[in-house]
Amino acid sequence: MKRYSRELTVGGALVLLMISLAIFAPNFFDTQPMISRLASQMPALILALGVALVIITRQIDVSIGSQFGMCAVIAGTAAAAGVPMPLAMLCALVAGALMGAANGWLVAGLGLPSIVVTLATMVIWQEVLRLWQKGLLLSLPDGVQWFGMSQGTGQAMVIGSTLLILVLMAWAMKNLSSGRRIYATGSDAEAARLAGLAPKATTFWVFLLMGVLAGVGAALNLVQSPQIQPNSGEGLELKAIAAAVVGGIAITGGRGTLWGVLLGMMLLANVNPALTHFHQPPYWEKAIQGLVILLAVAADGIRIKKQKHLK
């Protein structure tokens, strides 16, 4: 029970939010808007799952929002040029993998601190995107929206594939040796190295996987609207990191579950819709997000202090 205390707390908060919404703003649960909202939250959840792995290895990646934007525009441009849909999506994944590999090489290969490296790549991809798109909207061809299917099916596919990825990743983190390696690298890289676990390689692959997931998120975002904004990824990195940290991924590495990330994302993503349903202005989103990050990290700090005292 104690091991999953964070998941339980966040889950409890989520239930409370939902109950109060059910009482005071029952139309929050109207089926169609709720499914649309859920589908629109899936890309951010994918990013949060990726960044959770990065944080578990005791690194950070703040470039994921820019990666997301790049992947979206690359796939969109390909689709607009007549490339078939599956191939266009593959383009997004490959582009993400390359950007992730660049981060991974700089962090794991050269041993540079990930916060500064990804801060730099965040700006680099963002400016490349600006130079390339000049801030213009990119219209997508007809077959792209909802994979060329009806909206209901498309939304089901977006939500379904995200949940599938979540289940697979959560299972792999628990049961595959590569998943355990990620935890080992984050909790003590030196011990992992001595145990022959190649923490550098693990770190590299985690960053690469992060890039691929940014591509997946971008692809799942792409199908939800007839056009894409080049700045579609701006601020997503903070949303993803916040969801991961709130969901119990310890910033000190080596600790947390992806189910917690799901709860964290559901809680955070519903703050803003909840605000509007409670007839509050939505300007507070970023401030609340920051506050929630600080609270989650502080709670972690207190937990660690307590453990030290017990020892």
Partner 1 sequence: MKQTGSIKALLVKHEMILLWVIAVEVILFQVLGQNFLTAGNVSNIFRHSAEIGLLALVMTPVILTGGIDLSVGSLMGLCAVVFGMLVKVYGLDPLVAAGLTVLVGALGGGLNAGLVAGMGLRPLIVTLGTFSLFRGLAEALTHGSKSYSGFSDGFLALGNSDILGVPAQIWIVLVVGIVIWFLVHHTTYGRSLRAIGYGEEGARYAGLPVKRNISITYVMAGAVAGLAAVILVSRLGEARANAGMGYELLAITAVVLGGVSIFGGAGNVSGAVLGWIALAILNNGLTRISDYEILGEKVSSVARELSGLLTGLLLIAALALAICMKMLAAKRSAKQT
Residues lying near partner 1 in the complex (CB under 8 A): 60, 62, 106, 110-113, 115-117, 119-124, 126-128, 130-132, 238, 241-242, 245, 251-252, 281, 283-291, 293-294, 297-298, 300-302, 305
Both tokens assigned to 265: 């994302």
Question: Which is closer to partner 1, CB of 196 or CB of 281?
Answer: 281
Least spacing, CB of residue 74 vs partner 1, in Å: 16
| Nearest-approach distance from CB 221 to partner 1, in angstroms | 21
**Whether 46 contacts 231, CB under 8 Å:** no
Strand partners, 36: none
Q: Which C-beta is closer to partner 1: that of 39 or that of 250?
A: 250
C-beta closer to partner 1: residue 125 or 205: 125
User: Smaller CB distance to partner 1: residue 39 or 64?
Assistant: 64
The residue among 18 and 128 lying less far from partner 1, judged by its C-beta, is 128
What are 276's two structure tokens? Answer: 């509007």
* CB closer to partner 1 out of 17 and 288: 288
- To partner 1, the closest distance from the beta carbon of 296 in angstroms equals 9
Q: How far is the CB of 187 from partner 1 (least distance, A)?
A: 15
DSSP-derived secondary structure letter, 224: T
Tell the residue number behind the tokens 């239930």, with chain if given. 15
> What CA–CA distance (Å, rounded) separates 254 from 276?
37
d(CA 55, CA 64): 13
- Other C-beta atoms closer than 10 Å to the C-beta of 157 total 16
Q: Is the dihedral of CA 147, 153, 155, 158 positive or negative?
A: negative
CB of residue 249 to partner 1, shortest distance in Å:
11
If the CB atoms of residues 68 and 146 are measured against partner 1, the closer one turns out to be: 68
71: exposed, middle or buried (Cβ count in 10 Å: 0-12, 13-18, 19+) = buried
Task: Write down the least CB distance from residue 157 to partner 1, Å.
Answer: 32
- CA distances from residue 200 to 50, 174, 213, 308 in whole angstroms, order as listed: 18, 20, 20, 29
* DSSP structure class, residue 176: S
Q: How far is the CB of 114 from partner 1 (least distance, A)?
A: 9
First to last CA, the chain: 21
Contact 10, 248 (CB under 8 A): yes
Q: How far is the CB of 281 from partner 1 (least distance, A)?
A: 7
Residue number, 170 or 249, with CB nearest to partner 1: 249
Q: How far apart are CA 69 and CA 235, in angstroms?
A: 11
